[in-house]
Amino acid sequence: MFNRSRRNLASWFTLTMGSILIMFAAIVYYWEVIDKLEELDRLLYKKTSVMAANVKSELHNGQRQLDLEHVPLLGSMVQPLPDSQLVYASWYDEQKQLVQFFGTIPSDRLSISGGFDTIKTDSKVWLRQVTLPVYQNSLLIGYLQAAMPMTATENALAEFRMVLAISAPITLGVVALTGWWLGGLAMQPIRHNYDHLQRFTADASHELRSPLTAIISNAQYGFLSKTTDLEVQRQRFHKIFDVAKSMSTLVSNLLFLARYQGKLPTESLQVTDLNNLLVQIIDDYATQPDAQHLSLVSKLLNNSITVLGDADLLRQVVINLLNNSCKYTPAGGQVQLRLFTQSRWAVIQIIDNGIGIPEADLPYIFERFYRVDKKRSRQTGGFGLGLAIAQQIIQAHGGKISIKSVFQKGTTLEITLPLK
């Protein structure tokens, strides 16, 4: 599935970028043709202008006489233009009648008034032709028509087409490889989320299957049993009640994880004094059975440490972490609750000298349904969702939660929250 999606992404990327590349190459080639033609036109106009400047027209006895003898290529009194490249040149009078020509025999009468044209000769050679009206003292004295071959321009454009024909497929190949690579990068988070969802679904199904099986087996026993012993029946119902209660807790935890994805809504955030909150938690928690067998120490500040957050959710996080520390700290051990500030952050530390966590398990300790070992089974450590919930709550407040632990020596959980 992921390889097919990656291929589709790469194909669409290559198709899109390839279309853009081809359009870009076509536009570049179009502008190259325009530029080459303008260059040729400027050269042709320059040559014909030199010729036209040598045309003389004078009045003798009331009649205008034209002198073309000093016009290059047309006259005999001047040397031909060096490397003129002109194929033919023709002079027409103001009535567009042919007067004199050089090169190919032209038409007797000029059919156009002026401008540039591209024509094809009988020998299939393309020529660029210009027809230039010539004025003297603002009086039209005739038309000069000349042409030169487009061979050099065609060769330059052919070389440019060859460059495009070679570079475009190479660029398209690079684009395809880049698309394949980018497709792989784009698929990584999707693959990670998919794997995570599959693992989460499998874990949730596994956790729900066991209590459901227990409920069904106890219910079937109740239906099939013919015992009249009320105590036995009461134990069965009590077992079903315990399992259903456990399932309710699991479902509530899963709903909580689904509900608090991302940032908390602004309306639920209030200015919360962490110092007062932790004092209340310590007072309440000191009487809990889990804290009776060990020393619960608090090191708080005298001044107020305020953050913007949901006090109930923050209380739940601290109590979850305290529960874990107290459960896995042997009798006579110590659990510390510390609060201090660091730069623009409020820091809450819960430090115990309990059984600790193996180093290999630390990277996965905040994953859902993750348990370190049998000692942290469902009976003692819940469903393995407590730390995941704590992490999600802290992240929803814009904070971070981290853990440091040395096996058999103790664990330090640290919460950092942005100060208000």
Q: Outline where DSSP puts E strands in 15-104.
A: 56-60, 63-67, 88-92, 98-102
Q: Residue 74 has what pLDDT?
A: 82
Is the separation of the CB atoms in 182 and 54 below 8 Å? Answer: no
387 Ramachandran zone, left/alpha/beta (phi>0; psi -120 to 50):
alpha
Identify the residue whose tokens are 């994880």.
257
Buried b or exposed e, range 99-124, using 16+ CB within 10 angstroms: ebbbeeebeeebeeeeebeeeeeeee
pTM: 0.53
Report the pLDDT value the prediction gives residue 82, as an integer from 0 to 100.
Answer: 66
Specify the CATH superfamily of domain 264-418.
Answer: Histidine kinase-like ATPase, C-terminal domain (3.30.565.10)
pLDDT of residue 209: 83
Where do we find the tokens 């814009």? 398
Domain boundaries, the chain: 1-155, 264-418
CATH number of 1-155: 3.30.450.20
Find where tokens 């989460």 sit: 200
pLDDT at residue 107 tops 90: no
pLDDT of 380 reads: 52
Q: What is the CA radius of gyration of the chain?
A: 46
363: pLDDT confidence band, cut at 50, 70 and 90? confident
Average pLDDT, the chain: 85
Please state, in angstroms and as integers, the Cα–Cα distance from residue 134 to each residue in 3, 115, 145, following that order.
72, 12, 10
How would DSSP label each residue in 255-289?
Answer: HHHHHT-SSPPGGG-EEEEHHHHHHHHHHHHTTSH
* Residue 77 pLDDT exceeds 80: no
3-state DSSP call for residue 228?
coil
Quote the tokens at residue 150: 């487009």
Q: Mean pLDDT across the stretch 154-176? A: 92
**In whole angstroms, what separates CA 230 from the centre of its chain?**
67
- Of residues 224 and 48, which shows the higher confidence score? 48
For the ranges 152-166, 174-188, 205-219, 392-406, which has the lowest average pLDDT?
205-219
Q: At what angle do helices 2-53 and 151-224 cross, to 10 degrees?
A: 160
